[in-house]
Structure 1
Amino acid sequence: MTPVRTPSPFDPATLGPVRVPNRIIKAATSEGRSPEGLVTQDLIDFHLGFVRGGVGMTTIAYCCVSPEGKSAPGQIVMSPEAVPGLRRLADAVHAEGAAVSAQLGHAGPVGSKKITGVTPTSPSKFINPTSFEYCRPITRGEIAEVIEQFAAAAQVAVDAGLDAVELHFGHNYLPSAFLSPLLNRRKDEYGGDIDNRSRLVREIARAVRERVGDAIAVTAKISMIDGVPGGIKLAESLRTAQLLDADANLDAILLTQGSSVVRQMFLFRGDVPVEDFAALMKQPVKTGVRLFGKKVLGEFPYEDLYMLEAARQFIPVVKNSKLILLGGITNHDHMETGMREGFDFLAMGRGLLREPGLVNAVREDHGKQTLCTHCNRCMYTVYGRTHCVLDPESAYGPVATADAGGANGGAAGIPAPPGVSVRA
């Protein structure tokens, strides 16, 4: 028998109806480049940096399915008004030979009344331990509305010429909150055992697929473990993935971990930038962040490929959907490991914030090592214009030459609006 060749991370691949030039995806990370909730040239340039740097597909984050689904100011709401800007972004990415996806989400308990003007919702009554905001139980009628909002948002992506959508079923946003036994204590068909708690994500995926058909790829991001005591555990997330996969409405599942409600460092790993967060706050919050920031955010050491151990458990379970590995992928050895393990695509985040051209650099030099130090100081920049603090160009843009008519303006300020969560 001819041995099966392990694909290279740089091989072309298909994702549903989409042909992508390679298997590297720019993961969704907060951007802060749409202050009016619409695409800007700054946002387009942000994503062009990654596709010119070698990724096969880039992901726009975080696109809300409704105004009530926002988790921060200035996020794009997937509405007809957003279509022209999204189309410009898609056209620009396509001109570079790459693909583009939109991450679709509803914040639920990660949201804030200070941002949306309405009380955030959760599967059950809940007090957010980071923002101390009350979250009211979502009604069954509102659940039906949310499902329709996801489908309508996916149609906006089709209308804008995007290649894919990523349904955000992770990090304790509203769909993920239904998966959590800690946040979901409902007594109806959406609560109870994991099959019932998986009902909402299955209904969203089905509604989206029915709406868009094969016009675009449909993927989902799920938390394997949320890192919250009493929350999502691996055995139950395996069942959720199995149910979603059996429904055959998803082209791929991106495996993540962590929560945006509390212990956010379980997702990010590495240094905890407490002093940087504190510097953005006013008293008495500033002192509280310094005293309790590490306890709230959690402390978890960084390791290369730190999601691999949990993610490999999904390979024998998922039969119809392709799998995307995330977490601590920064060099060629990591990419090759992911391919050998049986994953179809690889997603990268912080390393690309530090070096948008990292994929091309690794392709040309397999010994290339990342410049990312895992300091996580990019986390606090989500309060403004997300960037790597070690890369001046990502913060302020390229330095203008004398021939260009003078220096560029400075970066936007970094306000610290209350209720804004660390997110990805």
Structure 2
Amino acid sequence: MRDKVFESLKVGNLSIKNRIAMSPMVTNYCGEDGELTDRYIEYIRERARGGPGLIILEAAYVHPTGKGFRNELGIHKDELISDLKKLTEIVHEEGSKIGIQLYHGGRQTSSDVTGQQVVAPSPIPCPVKQEKPKELTKKEIDEIIDAFAKAAERAKKAGFDLVEIHGAHGYLLNQFLSPYSNKRNDEYGGSFKNRKKFPLEVVKNIRKKVGDNYTVTYRLTSEEFVEGGLTINETKNYAQDLVNEGIDLIHVSGGVYETSHKIIQPFFESEGLYVDNALEIKEAINGEIPVMVVGRLKNPEKLENTIAKGIDMVAVGRGFLADPYFPKKMEEGREEDIRKCIGCNQGCIDRLFAGDSITCLGNPLCGQEYKYNTNKTTTPREVMVIGGGPAGMEAARTAAERGHKVKLYEKENKLGGKFSSVIVPPYKDEFDDLNQYLKKQLEKVGVDIKLGTEVDKDLIENNNVDEIIMATGSTPIKPELPGADRKNVVFAEDVLTGRAEVEGNILVVGAGLVGCETAEYLAEKGFDVQVIEALDQIGADVGSIKPLLLANLNKLNVDISKNTSLKEIKENKVIIEKKGKEQIIEDISTVVLAVGYSENKELLEQLKETNINVQLAGDSVYPRKIIDAIHEGFRAAYNIE
């Protein structure tokens, strides 16, 4: 089956060397007017080297009103052609084909980004962006149709092998097609025939502009997952219209901003969730053109099975952020060397929708390729890494990969650190993929691992050490309040790792990520769980998975109270303060503390006495998330000269 993934595929008149495409993903790496940057070019170059058959560049706005992100790629003016041509030449030199996705954000953007009023089929705000758009006039519709066609012409001039029309994810073309967002009463609204008029006119005009021999594909939301939205039955019919208008491949996806977890699926969603929809669409069009599917495709076996079922091509997005070389590694049978996407969305989507540029939790080089020389050092050093958690493992791996001689010391009898608790809550087992990857790579790059060994000044002085990276992590905080030392008071981390047992009804103190996930874990085991949070916000540090996590807690009947602080812990009850009034919660057998962490720096003073250069990484700097730990471990290793 693996050979099938690496067979060539004909799409229109274009021959693609294998069945793996890099899916378009907005990066925020470009200039404010959509121009390319060195950062973006090197990011794409690295992924072209990884062996995909096709790279489709991120959604490129065709008209100023359609720009969705501040530093998004543009193709709205002729001045961008020359730099885009340089990029297509780079990708071709690396052996891949390259396309660009043409899009208009419609109501799923903001005037802060576009600099003008948001536009849409109807003056109905996007529930997420919440900005009332201007209803497009017929003249303005024609202007946008022309903008799509001219953008396609620019793409052809720039050397792109294909253009993909973005008709998915609740953007403008999708907005016209869907009764959820299109409430017009003219020729562009009402019936399905009228609603599909605008997107099909875009397709027709692009085809006229680029000619019959140029490859044009279409990204389609197969379902919107909102009340009154598009379903697979309508989109199957629409797919046949796309075939009739000369589309060469249909790229099947799903979701709109209101159901964004269906667009960029976190670990809560199943892998390959749109494969069945894609098969239905292929059957509906009688296999007349190839069908490609996207959506949580990360494991080689899943890619193989998807192609074996009859899907023509698989699109992988975040998998290329985590490991640009995964197609080559897959083809060579080196699955254990693939750093897989874990569906956390912390480095990519959480950052993107906060207005930042994307990265990857597990791959600190993502988007930083232009900054770092990955050649081996010419001045190898003796490096001691203290701590075998995420920061320490990444620091040791990177330092050894660069050519340094590395010893990694961990006081426990196993590596992993915070991974040991992070992988336990429901749906979080994929974090162990990264944990196991790091462990395996430490072996492969020759790191000398010393388990069950606590470092002190004497140990350092008895070894040849040039550089030290301290990644000693953090310890859970125990608040100073009456009863905190009782036997029925335990830390969330100890519950998750099995070091502490719970019984009876449970109160979790703290509704951040750790507290919420511990409550979820215990509730799924059948415990009656309540959560209190002193702040006025639940899940302040959770990120884009927050709605899904809170929905799951609600299903599990976990009661969460904000603006509520713990005052005292008694035998079988606790005293809390809520809105300035003390209350008693009876029948509480176990209190689980999830109120934060404090950094472990006890060793630092001893290290300073050695006069050896010391760098701190991860929670030993101050407690944060695994993404911070891994990225700091990487940078610390690169700082060694």
- SS in structure 1 at match of 2:175: helix
Out of 110, 113, 116, the position equivalent to 1:115 is 113
Please state whether the residue corresponding to 1:110 is helix, strand or coil.
coil
- Shift in Å, 1:150: 0.6
Structure 1 Cα separation of the partners of residues 372 and 113 of structure 2 = 34
* Cα distance change on mapping 1:76 and 1:393 into 2, 3 Å: closer
Among candidates 23, 29, 34, match of residue 27 of structure 1: 23
SS at match of 2:283: coil
Unpaired runs of 5+ residues, structure 2, are 380-543, 546-641
In structure 2, relative to structure 1, the CA distance for the partners of 1:39 and 1:403 (3 Å cut) is farther
Match of 2:281 in 1: 314
How many Å apart are 1:113 and its aligned residue?
A: 0.8
| 8 Å Cα contact 2:43-2:367 kept in structure 1 | no
- Residue 477 of structure 2 corresponds to which residue in structure 1? none
Q: Which residue of 1 aligns with 2:160?
A: 162
Distance, in Å, in 1 between the alignment partners of 2:227 and 2:61 is 28
Question: Is structure 2 residue 340 aligned with structure 1 residue 371?
Answer: yes
Question: Could you say if the C-alpha distance between residues 361 and 167 of structure 1 is closer, same or farther in structure 2, counting changes exceeding 3 Å?
Answer: same
Cα offset, 1:182, TM superposition:
1.4
Partner deviation per Cα, 1:72-128 (whole Å, 9 max, x = no partner)? 112233121110110000000111111110100011011211111211111111122
Spell out the pairing of 1:277-288 with structure 2 (5 A cutoff).
none
> Which residue identity does 1:81 align to in structure 2?
E
Equivalent of 1:270 in 266, 279, 294? 266
Q: CA deviation at 1:370?
A: 5.1
Distance in 2 of aligned mates of 1:359 and 1:168: 25
The residue type paired with residue 124 of structure 2 is F
Which of 337, 341, 353 in structure 1 is aligned with 2:305? 337
Q: TM-score, normalised by structure 2?
A: 0.56
Distance 2:323 2:155 in 1: 28
Q: Which of the residues 251, 256, 267 maps onto 1:254?
A: 251
CA distance in 2, matches of 1:139, 1:7: 51
Give the conservation status (yes or no) of the 8 Å contact 1:123–1:138: yes
What's the counterpart of residue 43 of structure 1? 40
Counterpart residue type for residue 348 of structure 1: V
- C-alpha distance 324-91 of structure 1, shift in aligned 2 (>3 A): same
Q: Give the drift of 1:329.
A: 1.5
Aligned to 1:394: 366
Q: Distance in 2 between matches of 1:269 and 1:77?
A: 25
Cα shift readout 1:226-253 (whole Å, capped 9, x = no counterpart): 1222211111111111211122x21101
Alignment check: 8 A CA contact 1:70 1:115 kept: yes
8 Å CA contact 1:51–1:93 kept in 2: the answer is yes
**Structure with larger RCO (C-alpha < 8 A, sep 6+):** 1
Residue 7 of structure 1 deviates from its aligned partner by 7.2
Contact 1:30 1:62 in 2 (8 A): yes
Give the conservation status (yes or no) of the 8 Å contact 1:254–1:326.
yes
Question: TM-score normalised to the size of structure 1?
Answer: 0.83
Structure 2 counterparts to residues 139-288 of structure 1, below 5 A: 139-247=137-245, 249-260=246-257, 262-271=258-267
* Secondary structure of the structure 1 residue equivalent to 2:250: strand
> Alpha-carbon deviations, 1:252-283, whole Å to 9, x = none?
010000113x2211222225xxxxxxxxxxxx
Deviation at 1:215, TM superposition (A): 5.0
Which of these residues, 58, 64, 68, is aligned with residue 65 of structure 2? 68
Q: Deviations over 1:286-345 (max 9, x none)?
A: xxxxxxxxxxxxxxx221211112222111112432110111222232122222222211
Contact map agreement 1:195 1:240 (CA 8 A) in 2: no
- Aligned ranges for residues 54-133 of structure 1 at < 5 Å? 54-78=51-75, 79-133=77-131
**CA gap 1:241/1:6 in 2 versus in 1, 3 angstroms:** farther
Match of 1:9?
5
Where 1:8 maps in the other structure, the secondary structure is helix
Whichever residue aligns with residue 236 of structure 2, its letter is L
Give per-residue Cα distances to partners, 1:37-82, cap 9 Å, x unaligned: 2112221211122221110111111211111110011223312111
Contact 1:122 1:137 in 2 (8 A): yes
| Higher strand fraction (1 or 2) | 2
Matched, 1:304 2:271: yes
Q: How many Å separate the matches in 1 of 2:49 and 2:218?
A: 25
- AA of the residue aligned to 1:267: I
Distance 1:365 1:402, change over 3 A: closer
The worse-fitting range, judged by mean Cα deviation, of 10-19 and 345-354 is 10-19
Structure 1 residue 403, shift from structure 2 partner? 6.2
Tell me, yes or no, if the aligned pair for 2:319 and 2:341 is still in contact at 8 Å. yes
1:148-207 CA-to-partner distances (Å, cap 9, x unmatched) read 111000000011111111100001111000111111111112112222211111111111
SS at match of 1:222: strand
8 A contact 2:59–2:166 mirrored in 1: no
CA contact (8 A) 2:121 2:136 kept: yes
Unaligned runs of 5+ in 1: 272-300, 405-420
What is the distance in 2 between the residues matched to 1:76 and 1:371? Answer: 26
What is the CA–CA distance in structure 1 between the aligned matches of 2:70 and 2:248, rounded to whole Å? Answer: 31
* Helix, strand or coil at the partner of 1:315: helix
**2:326 alignment counterpart:** 358
Secondary structure of the structure 2 residue equivalent to 1:168: strand
Q: Distance in 2 between matches of 1:49 and 1:68?
A: 31
Contact 2:294 2:315 in 1 (8 A): yes
Matched, 1:381 2:375: no
1:308 counterpart letter in structure 2: V
Structure 2 CA distance for partners of 1:118 and 1:339, relative to 1, 3 Å? same
Name the residue aligned to 2:597.
none
State the distance in 2 between where 1:55 and 1:214 align.
Answer: 26
Asked if 1:325 is matched to 2:321, the reply is no
Q: Is the 8 A contact 1:222 1:255 kept in 2?
A: yes
CA separation in 2, counterparts of 1:33 and 1:97? Answer: 23
Indicate conservation of the 8 Å contact 1:26/1:347, yes or no: yes
CA–CA distance in structure 2, aligned partners of residues 396 and 403 of structure 1: 22
Work out the CA distance in 1 between the residues paired with 2:232 and 2:7. 31
List per-residue Cα deviations over 1:194-226 (Å, max 9, x = no partner): 222111111111110111014531001010011
Which amino acid counterpart does residue 345 of structure 2 have in structure 1?
A: N
3-state SS in 1 of match to 2:194? helix
